[in-house]
Copies of this chain bind each other. A is one copy, B any other.
């Protein structure tokens, strides 16, 4: 799906791919600094060291630049999927994941880009699809962990592990957003998040 055709390893196409990446990087920087709608195509082109017209040789429209960026977000999730794939006891995996994902979102740029994409997704179905698709990668992996934990008796029996997975993600992401807006560092919030999640999913008789 993301594998773009064949890639003839010519000197030309190599440079071409490099340009493309440069443009995308520049776009991300611009969107982070000024927001998607406040960023002009010229801003992106200038920052990428590329002419305005050339940018349109690489991307059919500004919208498509954002679509590509939203799609790229998928790659960022790999480390977390890896954690969730571990076979250690579910509570341990869960806690490792929560910590790692929260630390990832402690970087403002990751939160800002998320908000920027989310707010564009409201009115652009193709962006919403990508957003939900990426999110599904996390939820389905997390759901597996929760189900396994419940089966092993390591976690509270959950009426709908998939719903619970969603809620856990929302907790982390919401906390990250609040951390950024309020200026309270994620490090100060993380403990509370972990406790809250533990309390919610660990079996009732677990020592606190």
- A182 and B174 CA atoms in complex are apart in Å by 17
**Which of the segments A21-29, A45-53, A110-118 contacts the partner chain?**
A110-118
Q: In this assembly, does A173 line the interface, its C-beta being within 8 Å of a C-beta of chain B?
A: yes
Q: Which of A83-91, A95-103, A157-165 contacts B (4 or more CB under 8 A)?
A: A157-165
A170 interface hit (Cβ, 8 Å): yes
Cβ contact within 8 Å between A115 and B119:
yes
- State whether B118 touches A177 (Cβ < 8 A): yes
Q: Which A173-192 residues have a C-beta within 8 angstroms of B?
A: 173-175, 177-178, 180-182, 189, 192
The answer on a CB contact under 8 Å between A175 and B182 is no
A132 at interface by CB-CB < 8 Å: yes
User: A110-139: which have CB < 8 Å to B?
Assistant: 112, 115-116, 118-119, 121-123, 128, 131-132
A140 close to B (CB within 8 Å): no
For this chain, the copies found in one complex come to 2
| A195: interface (CB < 8 Å) | yes
Instruction: Give residues in A with beta carbon < 8 Å to B.
Output: 34-35, 37-38, 112, 115-116, 118-119, 121-123, 128, 131-132, 156, 159-160, 163-164, 166-167, 169-171, 173-175, 177-178, 180-182, 189, 192-193, 195-197, 199-201, 204-206, 208
> Which residue from B35, B122, B132, B159 sits with its C-beta under 8 Å from A192?
B159
B residues within 8 A CB of A208?
156, 204
Contact partners of A197 in chain B: CB under 8 A? 200
Contact check, B159 vs A170: say whether CB atoms are below 8 A apart: no
A199: nearest residue on chain B (CB-CB)? Answer: B200
Contact partner, A123, options B34, B159, B206, Cβ 8 Å: B34
Residue pair A175, B170 in contact (C-beta under 8 Å): yes
Contact check, B167 vs A196: say whether CB atoms are below 8 A apart. yes
| Contacting pair B199 A156 (CB below 8 A) | yes
Task: Report chain B residues within 8 Å CB of A206.
Answer: 204
Which residues of B have CB within 8 Å of A192?
159-160, 163-164, 166-167
